[in-house]
Amino acid sequence: MKFPYNEKVLEHFRRPHNVGKLENPDGKATEGSPACGDMVSVYIKVNPQSNIIEDIKFESYGCASNIATGSIITDMAKGKTLEEAKKITWQQATEALGGLPPIKAHCSVLAVEGLRAAIQNYEEKHGIIAEKVPTTIEIVNNRLKKVMNPLTGLDVVRTNLIKKIEIDNGKVLLTIDLPSNHQFAASIREEIKEKIETLWDVKEVIVDFIE
């Protein structure tokens, strides 16, 4: 039988580097893939003087390609500045792995997006933002597209879980189409808060349920 993966991919899949969680990370993010519903979390420690990523770890809930790409991009990002790490592309990661089956491109995109989102989270928490545009419903909605609905494996916007978004003076109010005692209610609320709270002009995020 011929494996679709080359030896290097299999090696990174079997013994992935930098797997796990960092305690008190300076930046972290969980990203979901709109293509398959899988998720990846990335944690970074950053030297505030040099802006160098001193430590990085990831957890993947995705497939072998995602684990292998997570392993290689965390290797690539360690020791780089935030600016350098932001420029790592999924094509470079795939190349460093010696190639992935084309159908698996979205899996490496997911790993790279996880890294970029963790950097973005760090920058937002530290007020390093290029352009301070006021938060709009559209911006909130775009962020919510990265929050997965565990019931379906698709994001909460696509699955119509968001009933209402209101923005009022730095306060973001969201209504979710789930009862508050639903088994996933608390985790969805946490994920939404994490994604929205770091927007520079948001002071408070309130997530309500329909009942």
Q: Does the annotation mark 107 as catalytic?
A: yes
Task: Name the residue with tokens 């939404």.
Answer: 192
Q: Which residues from 94-153 bind ligand FES, rule CB under 6 A?
A: 107, 110
* Given the residues 42, 76, 97, 107, the one annotated as active site: 107
- Judged by beta carbon, residue 98 or residue 153, the one nearer ligand FES is 153
- Judged by beta carbon, residue 18 or residue 33, the one nearer ligand FES is 33
Q: For residue 160, with 0-12 CB atoms within 10 Å meaning exposed, 13-18 middle and 19 or more buried, which class applies?
A: exposed
* Beta-carbon count within 10 A of 117 CB: 21
With CB under 6 A as the contact rule, the residue among 36, 96, 105, 173 that binds ligand FES is 36
* Of 83, 93, 86, nearest in space to 17 by CA: 93
Per residue in 41-71, is it b (16+ CB within 10 Å) or e — as a string?
A: bbbbbbeeeebbbebbbbbbebbbbbbbbbb
Span interacting with ligand FES, options 31-39, 76-84, 86-94, 172-180, rule CB under 6 A: 31-39
Span interacting with ligand FES, options 63-71, 85-93, 176-184, 187-195, rule CB under 6 A: 63-71
At 82, give phi and psi (nearest 5°). -60, -40
* Residues constituting the chain: 211
The neighbouring-strand residues paired with 32 are 39
With CB under 6 A as the contact rule, the residue among 16, 62, 70, 114 that binds ligand FES is 62
- Judged by beta carbon, residue 63 or residue 151, the one nearer ligand FES is 63
- Judged by beta carbon, residue 43 or residue 90, the one nearer ligand FES is 90
* Given the residues 10, 19, 22, 36, the one annotated as active site: 36
Q: At 199, list the tokens.
A: 């927007």
- What Å distances lie between residue 178 and 15, 89, 111, CA to CA? 39, 37, 29
With CB under 6 A as the contact rule, the residue among 18, 30, 41, 65 that binds ligand FES is 65
Span interacting with ligand FES, options 61-69, 168-176, 178-186, 194-202, rule CB under 6 A: 61-69
Which stretches of the chain bind ligand FES, using CB under 6 A?
33, 36, 38, 62-63, 65-66, 107, 110
Active site residues: 36, 107
